[in-house]
Amino acid sequence: MGRRWVFLIGLVGAVWLLGSGHGGQQPPVTAAQRCFCQVSGYLDDCTCDVETIDRFNNYRLFPRLQKLLESDYFRYYKVNLKRPCPFWNDISQCGRRDCAVRPCQSYSEVANNLIEECEQAERLGAVDESLSEETQKAVLQWTKHDDSSDNFCEADDIQSPDAEYVDLLLNPERYTGYKGPDAWKIWNVIYEENCFKPQTIKRPLSPLASGQENTFYSWLEGLCVEKRAFYRLISGLHASINVHLSARYLLQETWLEKKWGHNITEFQQRFDGILTEGEGPRRLKNLYFLYLIELRALSKVVPFFERPDFQLFTGNKVHDAEKKMLLLEILHEIKSFPLHFDENSFFAGDKKEANKLKEDFRLHFRNISRIMDCVGCFKCRLWGKLQIQGLGTALKILFSEKLIANMPESGPSYEFHLTRQEIVSLFNAFGRISTSVKELENFRNLLQNIH
């Protein structure tokens, strides 16, 4: 068995319904318990417990990480949002930046309600591409600087004339109105066609679709730890995104302002143990699993950022030096985490089989990144592409431990290198997971007051 037990987070227990309370013999189960009672203490067979992660993230890491992500180097992400979907053509227009609602016109009351919903989704899903004149000049300098370094892994998509820098602070991840069959189609394709599973599975795999989860996890037990981990990473990412949507929900809109905040009902629909037939707590466990994976990757890549030749280039030497110092402080804080995930059981078997699994991982992630071009909501597409690239970069780091150890202390690093895009996506993706863990504390406190 070796150390493979560390991959069993979220794979054991929690199938029974919570808090039945028959005959009045059991105390009433609180709303918080229904979401979190199985997401406390030790994470099944893992030596790391939820409380340790919460304290470390929420009080030691989260505040400094948010400060770093607000800096110029990390707030601007270059992305091509105009790539066509390579898999199907019937993408819903509702929720897209240039959504044309006129074809939906009808005089029926139902159709008029749909038009209003589409128009709202269009507004909420729009991407703010405005950059100041000063910033536009600065990004030209960044491109010249990046082109002069050893960015041999530069993604072809970034060279497209349609690729543009987007200010992530102006485009926060939150509720956009993008939902229904079109949104589910994206996740269904990801789970059905890109997660490893036995060939005998014939039913749709929709982990966040109510009513389909009673035996969903049983097939995972027959997979190797790497393939189980792959599914749990995607499930954790899915859960994290849903935490963000619930935490930054459009609660009220007037002609003067929009009011965003925590939507407890939305959170419960996605994570309540009873409403999701026991699956909600599993999803939250997978979120913590994803957190540990990305945290471990950041702890492993410290030598790359410690090299004197590395800089967070924005053209302002004083500012860049300060942000690099903050970056290293955060990385050393991460490295000090006492209960790091043990990734040594990743691809630890036969070398030929291990190499094939690694290649399968890369192909699956590449395919999922292409599926992001089929997302009808541009803001959702932006954050989906960024977080998939960030997770892929984290796995690249974990697979490159020897290459990182052999890097020269100065000069170009040709064996292992991270591009600006990979760095920005890596830290922003982890920032999203870190924010999710922080928001879970907020929801836990809010739910304590619900009886």
Q: Are 422 and 389 in contact (CB under 8 A)?
A: yes
425 is in an annotated binding site: no
Helix ranges restricted to H, 72-155: 72-75, 109-125, 133-147
Active site residues: 377, 380
Residue 82 has, within 13 A of its CA and on its CB side, a CA count of 10
Q: Are 41 and 50 in contact (CB under 8 A)?
A: yes
Residue 101 CA to residue 354 CA, distance in Å, equals: 50
270 is in an annotated binding site: yes
160 is in an annotated binding site: no
Q: Which tokens sit at 444?
A: 């836990």
Residue 20 CA to residue 29 CA, distance in Å, equals: 8
CA-nearest of 289, 290, 303 to 332 is 303
Residue owning tokens 């079109």: 182
238 is in an annotated binding site: yes
22 is in an annotated binding site: no
Residue 285 CA to residue 44 CA, distance in Å, equals: 9
Beta strands in 125-275 (DSSP E): 164-167, 249-253, 258-261
184 is in an annotated binding site: no
Residue 157 CA to residue 422 CA, distance in Å, equals: 13
Residue 451 CA to residue 30 CA, distance in Å, equals: 6
Residue 324 CA to residue 306 CA, distance in Å, equals: 9
Binding site listing: 174, 176, 187, 235, 238, 270
Q: Show binding-site residues for FAD.
A: 174, 176, 187, 235, 238, 270
